[in-house]
Each structure stands twice: as structure tokens, then as C-alpha cells.
Amino acid sequence: MLLMLTDRVVSRLRVMSRGEPRRAAVRTIAVLPASPDVPLDEFCTMLSTALGLLAPTLHLTSERVDSSLGRRGAAQAHDREGGGAGLLEWLAGLESAHRFVVYQADRGLSPWTERCVRQADRIVLAANAAGSEAPGEIETELLAGRRVSRTPVTLVLVHPAATSTPVGTARWLTARSIERHLHVRRDALADFERVARFISGAAVGLTLGGGFTRGLAHIGVLRALAELKIPVDAIGGASIGAIVGAQWAIGWDSSRMVHETRTGFAEAFDDMTLPFLALQRGGKVSRFVRGVFQDVQIEDLWSPYFSVSANLNRAELKVHTSGSLAEAVLASARVPGVFPPMVLDGELHVDGGLIDNVPVDVMRSFSNEGIVIGVDVSPPHGLDEVADYGEDVSGWRAVWDRLKPARARRAYPPSILLVLMRAIEFGGISYRRDKAAMADLYLTPEVRHFNRIDFRRAADIAEVGYQASREKLLEWLMSATATVRARRPDLFGST
């Protein structure tokens, strides 16, 4: 938590030094019930506990206000009747004394509920995931008004403790306009901690770049993050990064990712065809991906996820944050020339790495301006020195030269597969410096010595990613701790 708070300070200073507008820090959170059947008291207690792990937090209800002021109905004072001035001054003092104040609304429309909305920097709409998605009275009367239109609203769907995978989230999203939605199990503090980090601007977003088989180093990065107890609140990526990120999002551990990916892709690449549209038919890869993710919808994942693809029709980057997880993954990983483009809504989509190979810029806003970690597995120098093979290239002669003994070979060109793959990597490499500056931490595991399509080395690649990232993550943690220790030695005691 100290690391996160320190990085938020550094991030704000960075923004101020560039002269960019500073985003106001969230201090007050209003929690509104979407319907009467929401376990509101329990929800607010869990959220306040989670926020309290970040900084001093106060949880207010109308009953607690009445008790503190020693007057029944004190919380229900109307400003227009002149009785709210004293209450407003008292609340201002509490907000000054605490980093976060959670305003728990009443279960129905009331002056206190209205005041909670007016006081809020951010609104959390708590909903029973098994209930009706229709907007309730509070939403209709208070959140639809112009006066709160600029206050961000986060929908949090509360699930029973034993829920394995959320379903049917789309019906909640089509019924209302919100900034973000999140899922929690009612007894899982870790889920509420994720909500707390998102609404406070301290969410950790992990961005995984493309790089073909070398992207399996991402599996090792995830393992290192888990061992060091660095939370991943949101995950996204391009190409193989989108695949690994989606596997993590559905709950796979590192050993399963290595095994399933090695087996599935090693067989799927044996799918050559007449290169009219692409070198590969693409069917085997598609069946593997669809078999893994089945009918999972992105909005039903416990952790927010996105993938990126290049929309050829519109010549723009497409960020996939809802709909079929399998289709979002496939669209992001369709290397042009190698696999046929993916058709979505009548438009062609290819590998997202063509435009944004390590989309940390997308993650910056997706994580609510939180802490962004980027992982780049595309080496800046990916080709050895190439002998001049001339300007008139015969494919037949190139194939024949490859069949000859090494001593009898003439200079021959690299394969079309290698050129296409390197062209995709170019989009990320050429902007690496800019992308690294956008991230709070940018990891670059050294995986150049691995072949781009040798999935049999999956375990070795993942291990390299683990060793390299664990070392960098430890340095990052130590640096942040040293910064906090210098500023606040009292937090560390005599040890």
C-alpha cells in the first residue's frame, strides 16, 4: 500500500511538471443502493475496511450522524430550511480529518441520501447481481439529474460467496450509463480491496505486449507478481499478451497456462494453406482459443480486461472491453499475412500489435489513472545481419537454396513469416521510449534467443520472464520503500 501511495504522489508530480490538468483526488465516496435487497450495511463496512488499508477512512450513516450530534433527524436537515449549515460545517471538519469518507445513503430517497450524492467525489452504486437490473428510484431521481452528471459512477455487482463466475452482466450495463463496473463476492475482502483501489486511483494495471512465443514470458511475470503480493486489478494486452492476460483473467495459474498454451499452439500452427489470404488457415488456432474461453463474456470477468486489435476498415485501434472473450482474443492475435483477418460486425480486424504493441496508454485510462506496469517482449534487435540477396528474388530458388548443404548455399532472403512477424513487432519497438515513459514500471525480459514460434520452449520462456521480472519488481519495491522511509520514518518504527 505504501508503494501505491508513493507512486501516486510521483505520478501527480509528473503531471504537474508537464503543466497538464491535474485530476482531483477522490476523498468522498457515496454508496447508493440500486434496490432495497442490497446488503448495504455489510457492503459499506467491507468497502470502508478496504479503503482503511490505504489511508484513514470514516464510514458515515444517517444514524451515526444523529448519534454523534445528539439529535434525532440531524442528518435529514435541509439546506433550504436553514438547518443544514451546521451539518455541512461539521461534515467538512470530518472530511479534513480523514483521507476517505464513505457516505452510506439511506435505502430510499431522503435528505440524507441527497446530501450523500452532493458530497461525493465518486458514486458507488451497489447492486444485488441476482436481482433486477432496472434502475431504482434513487438512480432515477438523483443520478439522472444534470447536477451530478460529472460525478463518476461505479457499478458494483454483489454476488453470493460461493459464486465461481459472474453471468449476465450485460443486462446491467445496457440499462444505465456508468464509468465502470466491478464484481465482488460479499465475503471476499480482496474483491473489495480491488474496488477501493479503483475508486481511489491506486489500481494496478498490467499491460502485456505482443511477441509471439516470446510472449509466454508474461506467464513468469504474473507468477512473480503473485509471489511478491503485488495485486493485479486490471489486465490487458495485444496479441499473445491478450491471450495470456485472458487466461489469467479466467483464473488459470501459471503451470496451466504453460501446459495448455504449449500443447494447443504447437498443434495449431500446423495449418498451412495456399497463401491467397494468409499462410495459415487459422482454423486450428480459432478452435483452440474458443475451446479455452468457451462462451465467457469480458464484462463477466472478476477483473477488468481488454484486448486491442487493428481495425483495417477504419484504420484505427479497437479496444475490446465487452462481448465474447474468445473473439476479442482472436481479433487481437490475427497476425496479418500469417492468419486470415477476423471479421467483427462486417469489419476486418488483425493483430493489435500492428498499431499498439504494448498498450500502456490504453491501460492508463482503463485503470482509472492508476499504477501501470508494461511488459515488452519484442527485442529491439530481432534479426541477425542479412547478406545481400539482390533485388530480383525467386521464391523457388530461395526454397532450393535452403535444401542445399550450408557450404553450398548462396545468400538467400529471410522467410515471409519472419518478415511479417518482425513488421508486427516494429510498431511496438519504434515507440518503446514513449510507451515506457507512460508506465510506472516497464519490464523488458531478455527473450531474443528464443524462436518466435517454438511453443515447445514454453516453460523455459516463462522461467526467463519470472527471473527477470522478479528482480526488477524487487528493485521497484525497494526504491518505493526507501522513498517512503525518507519522507515518513515514523511509519517504520525502530526496526
Catalytic center residues: 239, 351
User: What DSSP designation does 257 have?
Assistant: H
- Give Cα separations from 74 to 59, 320, 328 (angstroms): 17, 48, 52
Closest residue by Cα to residue 35 from 103, 114, 107, 143: 107
Contact 375, 208 (CB under 8 A): yes
At position 400, the amino acid (one-letter code) is W
Q: At what angle do helices 2-17 and 458-487 cross, to 10 degrees?
A: 80
Q: Which of 26, 66, 62, 59 is nearest to 42 (CA)?
A: 59
Residue 273 CA from chain centroid, whole number: 36
**Cβ atoms within 10 Å, residue 100:** 24
* C-beta of residue 272 within 8 angstroms of C-beta of residue 246: no
What lies within 8 Å, CB to CB, of 148 at 6+ separation is: 117, 118, 123, 142
Query: Which cell is 329 given?
Result: 482474443
Radius of gyration of the chain (CA): 26
| Best CA proximity match to 88, nearest among 61, 63, 116 | 116
| Cα–Cα distance, 475 to 478 (Å, whole number) | 5
For the chain, the maximum distance between any two Cα atoms, rounded to a whole number of angstroms, is 98
- Closest residue by Cα to residue 124 from 4, 43, 24, 55: 43
State the Cα–Cα distance between residues 104 and 389, nearest whole angstrom: 72
Q: Could you give the CA distance from residue 286 to residue 378 in angstroms, rounded to a whole number?
A: 24
Residue 347's DSSP bridge partners are: 344
Q: 269 - beta bridge partners?
A: none
Burial 416-446 (b: 16+ CB within 10 A, else e): eeeebbeebbebbbebbeebbebbbbbbbbe
Closest CA to 337 of 448, 258, 400, 420: 420
